[in-house]
Each structure stands twice: as C-alpha cells, then as structure tokens.
Amino acid sequence: MANYDSVDVFSLWLKTVNNESEVYSLLGIFSSDENARAAVEDAKKISSYSGVGEFKVFKYELDYIDWCDGFISSAKALGLE
C-alpha cells in the first residue's frame, strides 16, 4: 500500500445480551473519539438505548487491512477475545 498519513475513525457500538449471547449493533462511525463519546451521551437519552446495554467505542485505521491472516470472529475483530 502507498505511503499516506494515517486516518482514524471511531465506531460506536451498543452491546446487548440476547438469550445469553452478546449482540453488537453498530450505531455510527465518527471522525473523532470525542464525537463518538458525545454520541454515547446523546444515545443514552433515547429510550430504546437507555439502560439496555453497554456502549463501546472502537478506533479503526482507514485504508488498512486489519485481517491479513484471514477471517476472524466478530468478537475477536472488536478486541473482545
């Protein structure tokens, strides 16, 4: 891949438990950690999100193959394993 300045984005997920299985729902992608954390505070005010799970923010680098060794589970991809 060509040389470039690294660009990071921040994904906001809601983790809930459904029949003893963890379920992750993507709520949005943000340009900064600060914006993602502000969105968490906004989401907490929405009744369907309030108190139903745990919010998680993950940092990703754009234009970078993060799965060079092949496919992995979504939990591992989210850094939860």
Considering the domain boundaries, does residue 56 fall inside one?
yes
Considering the domain boundaries, does residue 3 fall inside one?
no
Q: What is the mean pLDDT of residues 13-37?
A: 93
Considering the domain boundaries, does residue 2 fall inside one?
no
Considering the domain boundaries, does residue 19 fall inside one?
yes
Given a contact cutoff of 8 angstroms between Cβ atoms, the answer to whether 47 and 7 are in contact is no
> What percentage of the chain exceeds 90 in pLDDT?
47
> Residue 38: which region, alpha, beta or left (left: phi > 0; alpha: psi -120 to 50)?
alpha
Given a contact cutoff of 8 angstroms between Cβ atoms, the answer to whether 61 and 11 are in contact is no
Rounded to two decimals, what is the model's pTM? 0.72
CA dist., res. 23 & res. 35, Å (int):
23
Q: Residue 73: its pLDDT value, please?
A: 72
State how many domains the chain has: 1
Looking at residue 27, its amino acid is L
Helix (H, G, I), strand (E, B) or coil at 39: helix
